[in-house]
Amino acid sequence: GAVVSQHPSWVICKSGTSVKIECRSLDFQATTMFWYRQFPKQSLMLMATSNEGSKATYEQGVEKDKFLINHASLTLSTLTVTSAHPEDSSFYICSARELGDSGGPLYEQYFGPGTRLTVT
């Protein structure tokens, strides 16, 4: 089955620094990747949708200058949290949609294992 990996699985950084999270589709090409944020025992909140080679589309209320998303290839998307603060501490999950699927909205959404970010 299709596998999505995330790296790192957890990271601790100091307030004011930036941290990059990678999302890779290991055995398929991803036309679209979604980035979610999840607080403990809460739902997944969509942050942005990225398509390979184009700018990401951010959800309302998500600061695009703070959460930089790059989808440079069909197998890699990155989320960079710039000037991180303790309130950015959260669990970040990416998911990917396979290139060449039916093209309709009933696509399989493959999730990565998530990255736990702690900002001290």
The site for other proteins (CB under 8 A) is made up of 34, 41-44, 46, 49, 57, 91, 93, 95, 97, 104-109, 111, 113-114
Lookup: tokens for 90 = 């959260």
Q: With contact defined as beta carbons under 8 Å apart, do 109 and 25 qualify?
A: no
Closer residue to other proteins, CB minimum distance, 18 or 109: 109
Does the N-terminal peptide bond of residue 40 adopt cis geometry, omega within 30 degrees of 0? Answer: no
Residue nearer to other proteins on the CB measure, 78 or 95: 95
Q: Which is nearer to other proteins, 42 or 83 (CB)?
A: 42
Give the nearest distance from C-beta 83 to other proteins in angstroms: 26
C-beta of residue 23 within 8 angstroms of C-beta of residue 74: no
